[in-house]
Amino acid sequence: MKYAEDTIVAISTPYGSGGIGVIRLSGKYAFDIAAKIFQGKKEFSDIKSHTINYGKIVDVFTKEVLDEVLLSKMKAPNTFTRENIVEINTHGSQVVLKNILELTTKLGARVAEPGEFTKRAFLSGRIDLSQAEAVIDVINSKTDRSLKAALNQLEGALSKKLLAIRSELIKLIAHIEVTIDYPEYDIDEVTDGEMEDVLFVSIKGIDDILKTYDRGRILREGISMVIVGKPNVGKSSLLNSLSGKNKAIVTNIPGTTRDVIEEYIDFAGVAVRLVDTAGIRDTMDIVEKIGVEKSKEEAQGADLIVFLVDASRGMDKEDEDILELIKDKNVVVLMNKIDLVSDTSGLKEKIQESANVDVIEVSVLNEVGLSKFESYIRDKFLKIDSSNEVLLTNIRHKNLLEKASESLNNAVNAKKNGMPLDMITIDIRQAANDIGEVTGEEVNELILQEIFSKFCVGK
């Protein structure tokens, strides 16, 4: 372990004033430092592990009381990092937290790097790398369903499947290498059937996990849903209606929305990033022109584009230009303001002739058709069971497992083409290494630094 002799410290609660704040110490000297600054009814050495104790934090240099606190003492190895840990619950003043943090550093602690507590949990073998990465997903969860998916990974559901696959591949490699390197020993050679069984089962296991990525990504990151259309067709009204807030200014003046406005909503347990954009049209207004360009950029990266058309005005060249711009994307058309027209069949046919898109008739003002639109979103994106299924949510994991699957398919093809066993094992070993990068068996310091740099300091 890189920092075996270090004791690290960090403020583990978000910046700002609050009811409480938490300072966490972990490492060889965590207890020694706490014993010097904590004054309670018992001597620190007499406090039982995994108990909470009332007392005061006293500056050993000035003898000043810094705060009344609740202190938790947790003895290794039964802790998150498998090191001695002390957590100090203070009042949530940033001044108090800062003063106690500085006091611990004067006594030998070092301020933790981002994610270093979780990194130590990984390096000590308490959790594997995929579980460590799940910690940040738990912290960043936006809905109950995304939290359940993250907790499932934190508990090791993905790791168990991958470790089982990797174990079989390593056994196969070992069997092949023994028969090649030690022909004088009476060891049965690997049969074609045995090799194919391991390879095909491994490929299927990996590919089954890869198939869950789109659903897992939606749970982890949510859906980006961008509302586009020409000015004054009801985009901002739709945003306000779906979000339940008056976030966007609504007037009958075209071009009111000049910038991208976004709102996150919890939609059937999935976070939806709902984006209202400036009306797309040719304009000489410099500010509005910037907003139009931003609208086009948002549309390019959206999971779903909601194209609003004013049913009372029909389709004109501006609508046709927008539809042409987005026709290759995932698009649903909302024919808005149907309360102002008696027959919408002609307009609906015209839209569907222009592009192969779903069309839903709505009146945002009167909240007509919005339930049908919500059912459409639910059917298209949200049929996800996150309770028991292992879902792949991390793009790093996806890329590595795709490489592993490709290597195993290369091994199958090499076997069919009569390649020697020692050549085939190169691809099998590469697949095992790629899986090991997901779980942490095969990982270097640069990868760890990249992963844990995304964490907050206190975790």
61, two tokens: 């240099």
Select from 201, 204, 210 the least CA-distant residue to 168.
Answer: 201
**Full DSSP string of 268-319:** TTEEEEEEE----S----HHHHHHHHHHHHHHHT-SEEEEEEETTT---HHH
Q: How confident is the model at residue 292 (pLDDT cuts 50, 70, 90)?
A: low
Share of the chain above pLDDT 70, in %: 86
Does residue 257 carry a pLDDT above 80?
Answer: no
Burial label for 245, CB within 10 Å (0-12, 13-18, 19+), is exposed
| Cβ burial, residue 362 (10 Å; 0-12/13-18/19+) | buried
pLDDT digits (tens, 9 = 90+) for 220-238: 888 888 888 888 888 888 8
What band does 319 get if pLDDT is binned at 50, 70 and 90? confident
- Quickly state the pLDDT bin for 147 (edges 50, 70, 90): confident
Of the given ranges (20-29, 106-115, 323-332, 338-347), which has the lowest mean pLDDT? 323-332
pLDDT: which is higher, 447 or 32:
32
Quick one: pLDDT at residue 283?
46
The model's pTM: 0.72
Whole-number Å distance between alpha carbons of 442 and 128: 11
Q: Which of 440, 396, 435 is nearest to 128 (CA)?
A: 440
| Pair 315, 351: CB distance under 8 Å | yes
The pLDDT value recorded for residue 388 is 59
Provide the pLDDT for residue 248: 38
Residue 254's pLDDT is: 41
Gap between the Cα atoms of 371 and 375, Å rounded: 6
pLDDT score at 457: 76
Residue 372's contacts (CB-CB under 8 Å, 6 or more residues apart) are: 360, 362
Under 8 Å between Cβ of 377 and 369: no
Give the separation between CA 271 and CA 137, rounded to whole angstroms.
13
Question: What pLDDT band is residue 89 in, cutting at 50, 70 and 90?
Answer: very high
pLDDT band at 281 (very low <50, low <70, confident <90, very high): very low
pLDDT digits (tens, 9 = 90+) for 109-138: 999 999 999 999 998 989 989 888 888 888
- pLDDT at position 384 is 60
pLDDT tens-digit series, residues 157-196: 899 999 999 999 999 998 888 776 665 555 566 677 888 8
Whole-angstrom Cα distance, residue 257 to residue 252?
A: 11
Tokens representing 300 are 């390019």
pLDDT at 140 over 80: no
Which token pair is 118? 């979780």
Single out the residue of 159, 165, 36 nearest to residue 104, CA to CA: 36
| Predicted pLDDT of residue 322 | 81
How many whole angstroms separate alpha carbon 319 and alpha carbon 317? 5
Decide if 408 contacts 431 (C-beta within 8 A). yes
Query: Residue 408: in which H helix or E strand, if any?
Result: helix 395-416
- Please report the pLDDT score of residue 168 as a whole number: 94
Indicate the residue type of 110: R
For residue 454, give the DSSP letter: T
* Residue 145 to residues 137, 139, 220, 268, 387, Cα–Cα distance (Å): 12, 13, 9, 9, 8
pLDDT in the model for residue 443: 77
What's the pLDDT score for residue 385? 58
272 band by pLDDT with thresholds 50, 70 and 90: confident
DSSP conformation letters of 98-136: HHHHHHHHHTT-EEPPTTHHHHHHHHTTSS-HHHHHHHH
- Cis, bond preceding 77 (omega within 30 deg of 0): yes
Environment class of residue 240 by beta-carbon count within 10 Å: exposed (0-12), middle (13-18) or buried (19+)? buried
Of 49-53, 251-255, 364-368, the least confident: 251-255
**Which band of pLDDT confidence, cut at 50, 70 and 90, is reported for residue 1?**
very low
Q: Which residues lie closer than 8 Å to 211 by C-beta, 6 or more apart?
A: none
| Confidence tier at 252 by pLDDT (50, 70, 90) | very low
Q: In what helix (H) or strand (E) does residue 438 lie, and over which residues does it extend? A: helix 421-439
pLDDT in the model for residue 296: 64
**Residue 210: pLDDT band by 50, 70, 90 thresholds?**
very high
How far is 68 from 90, CA to CA, in rounded Å? 7
Lowest mean pLDDT among 3-17, 78-92, 103-117, 357-371: 3-17
Q: Is the pLDDT reported for residue 378 higher than 60?
A: yes
- From residue 114, alpha-carbon distances to 141, 245, 347, 353, 452 in Å are 19, 36, 56, 54, 6
**pLDDT digit string, tens, across residues 415-445:** 999 888 888 999 999 999 999 999 988 877 7
Does residue 91 carry a pLDDT above 90?
A: yes
| Pair of tokens at residue 227 | 């509302």
CB-CB neighbours of 342 under 10 Å: 5
**β-bridge mates for residue 20, sequence order:** 91
Average per-residue pLDDT in the chain?
84
